[in-house]
Structure 1
Amino acid sequence: MPRPVTPVPRSRTPFPQEGLTRDAHGVPRYTKVPATLLDLLRRHVDARPEAEAVVELGGERLTYGRLWERAARVAGGLRARGVGRGDRVAVRYAAGTNWVVAFWGTVMAGGIAVAVNTRSAPPEVEFVLGDAGVKVDLPDDAPLPDGPPYVTADPDPTDVVALFYTSGTTGRPKGVPTTHEAFVTSAENMVRCLDIPRTVGPELRTLISVPLFHVTACNAQLMVAAYVGGASVIMPTLDLPGLTEALTAERITFLVTVPAVYSLLLRHPGFAGADVSGVRTVAYGGAPIAPALVRSLREAFPRATVINGYGMTETASLITVLPDRDAVDHADSVGYAVPSVDLGVVPIGDDPSTGELVVRGANVTTGYWNRPAATAETIVDGWLHTGDIVRIDEAGRVHIVDRIKDIINRGGENVSSVEVEAVLLSAPGVADAAVLAVPDDVMGEKVGAVLFSDRDGLDVAAVIAHCRDRLADFKVPQYAAVVTDALPRNAGGKLLKNVLREQVRWGAPLR
Structure 2
Amino acid sequence: MNLSAQLNETAKKFAEKPAYYFMGQASTYAELDGVITKFASGLEKLGVQKGDHIALLLGNSPHFIISLYGALRLGVTVIPINPIYTADEIGYILNNGDVKAVVALDLALPLVEKVHTNLPKIEHYVFCETKPESLVLSEIETLSVYPKMKSFTKVVASGDLTFQGSELKDDDTAIILYTSGTTGKPKGAMLTHKNLYSNAKDVGQYLKMNNDDRVVTVLPMFHVFCLTVALNAPLLSGATLLIAPKFSPKEIFALIKGQAATVFAGVPTMYNFLYQYPEGNTEDLKSLRICISGGASLPVALLKNFEQKFSVMISEGYGLSEAAPVTCFNPLDRPRMPGSIGRSILHVENKVVDELGEEVPVGGVGELIVRGPNVMKGYYKMPEETAAAIRNEWLHTGDMARMDEEGYFYIVDRKKDLIIVGGYNVYPREVEEVIYNHPDVVEVAVLGVPDPNQGEAVSAFVVSKNPELSKEQVLEYCKEHLAKYKVPTTIEFLEELPKNTTGKILRRALKTQVTQAVGK
TM-score (structure 1 length as normaliser) = 0.86
The 3 A distance-change label for structure 1 pair 380 and 264 is: same
SS, match of residue 284 in structure 2: coil
Q: Distance in 1 between matches of 2:338 and 2:355?
A: 24
Q: Distance in 2 between matches of 1:225 and 1:289?
A: 23
Aligned to 1:411: 422
Match of 1:68 among 4, 29, 33: 33
Residue pair 1:481, 1:506 contacting (<8 A) in 2 also: no
Residue pair 2:448, 2:457 contacting (<8 A) in 1 also: yes
Q: Distance in 2 between matches of 1:285 and 1:414?
A: 25
Match of 1:181 among 185, 194, 205: 194
Aligned to 1:447: 458
Q: Distance in 1 between matches of 2:230 and 2:68?
A: 14
Residue pair 2:174, 2:190 contacting (<8 A) in 1 also: yes
Q: Distance in 2 between matches of 1:241 and 1:449?
A: 30
Residue pair 2:253, 2:285 contacting (<8 A) in 1 also: no
Residue pair 1:264, 1:431 contacting (<8 A) in 2 also: no
Match of 2:316 among 289, 308, 314: 308
Report the CA distance between 1:409 and its aligned residue: 0.8
Report the CA distance between 1:172 and its aligned residue: 1.0
Report the CA distance between 1:367 and its aligned residue: 0.7
- Would you say 1:339 and 2:349 are equivalent positions? no
Where do residues 313-462 of structure 1 align in structure 2 (5 Å cutoff)? 313-323=321-331, 325-327=334-336, 330-348=337-355, 352=361, 353-462=364-473
Report the CA distance between 1:161 and its aligned residue: 1.4
Residue pair 2:261, 2:288 contacting (<8 A) in 1 also: yes
Aligned to 1:3: none
The 3 A distance-change label for structure 1 pair 491 and 337 is: farther
Cα deviations by residue, 1:297-351 (Å, 9 ceiling, x for unpaired): 333443x432010100011121011235443xx3222121112111222214995
SS, match of residue 441 in structure 2: coil
Residue pair 1:60, 1:97 contacting (<8 A) in 2 also: no
Residue pair 1:177, 1:365 contacting (<8 A) in 2 also: yes
Aligned to 2:242: 233
- Would you say 1:478 and 2:489 are equivalent positions? yes
Residue pair 1:292, 1:426 contacting (<8 A) in 2 also: yes
Q: Distance in 1 between matches of 2:88 and 2:367?
A: 33
The amino acid that maps onto 1:474 is Y
- Higher RCO (CA 8 Å, separation ≥ 6 residues): 1
The amino acid that maps onto 1:332 is G
- Would you say 1:133 and 2:98 are equivalent positions? yes
Aligned to 1:167: 180
The 3 A distance-change label for structure 1 pair 261 and 312 is: same
| Structure 2 gap ranges (5+) | 107-126, 129-151
- Would you say 1:275 and 2:284 are equivalent positions? yes
Aligned to 2:52: 87
SS, match of residue 431 in structure 1: strand
Report the CA distance between 1:387 and its aligned residue: 0.5
Aligned to 1:500: 510
Residue pair 2:189, 2:321 contacting (<8 A) in 1 also: yes
SS, match of residue 491 in structure 2: strand
Aligned to 1:298: 307
Q: Distance in 2 between matches of 1:128 and 1:61?
A: 33
Q: Distance in 1 between matches of 2:502 and 2:376?
A: 18
Report the CA distance between 1:490 and its aligned residue: 2.8
Report the CA distance between 1:229 and its aligned residue: 0.3
The 3 A distance-change label for structure 1 pair 406 and 291 is: closer
Q: Distance in 2 between matches of 1:235 and 1:454?
A: 28
SS, match of residue 320 in structure 1: strand
Q: Distance in 1 between matches of 2:38 and 2:303?
A: 45
Q: Distance in 2 between matches of 1:398 and 1:105?
A: 37
The 3 A distance-change label for structure 1 pair 121 and 43 is: same
Residue pair 1:480, 1:506 contacting (<8 A) in 2 also: no
Q: Distance in 1 between matches of 2:185 and 2:369?
A: 22
Cα deviations by residue, 1:451-494 (Å, 9 ceiling, x for unpaired): 12345444433332222222111111111111112x22334444
Aligned residue pairs total 465
Report the CA distance between 1:51 and its aligned residue: 1.0
Q: Distance in 2 between matches of 1:132 and 1:63?
A: 33
The 3 A distance-change label for structure 1 pair 392 and 74 is: same
More helix by share: 2
Match of 2:82 among 117, 122, 136: 117
Report the CA distance between 1:139 and its aligned residue: 2.0
- Would you say 1:192 and 2:199 are equivalent positions? no
Report the CA distance between 1:121 and its aligned residue: 0.7
Residue pair 1:258, 1:287 contacting (<8 A) in 2 also: yes
The 3 A distance-change label for structure 1 pair 209 and 274 is: farther
Q: Distance in 1 between matches of 2:342 and 2:367?
A: 16
The amino acid that maps onto 2:396 is H
Q: Distance in 2 between matches of 1:422 and 1:251?
A: 33
TM-score (structure 2 length as normaliser) = 0.85
Report the CA distance between 1:380 and its aligned residue: 1.0
Report the CA distance between 1:157 and its aligned residue: 2.5
Report the CA distance between 1:59 and its aligned residue: 5.6
Report the CA distance between 1:279 and its aligned residue: 0.3
- Would you say 1:255 and 2:264 are equivalent positions? yes
SS, match of residue 469 in structure 1: helix
CA RMSD of aligned residues (A): 2.1
Q: Distance in 1 between matches of 2:399 and 2:300?
A: 22
Residue pair 1:449, 1:477 contacting (<8 A) in 2 also: yes
Residue pair 1:55, 1:97 contacting (<8 A) in 2 also: no
Q: Distance in 1 between matches of 2:405 and 2:461?
A: 33
Between 340-349 and 445-454, report the one with greater CA deviation: 340-349
Report the CA distance between 1:284 and its aligned residue: 1.0
Cα deviations by residue, 1:363-398 (Å, 9 ceiling, x for unpaired): 111211111111011111111110011112222221
Overall identity of the aligned pairs, in %: 31
Cα deviations by residue, 1:397-441 (Å, 9 ceiling, x for unpaired): 211121111000111111001111121222212222111111111
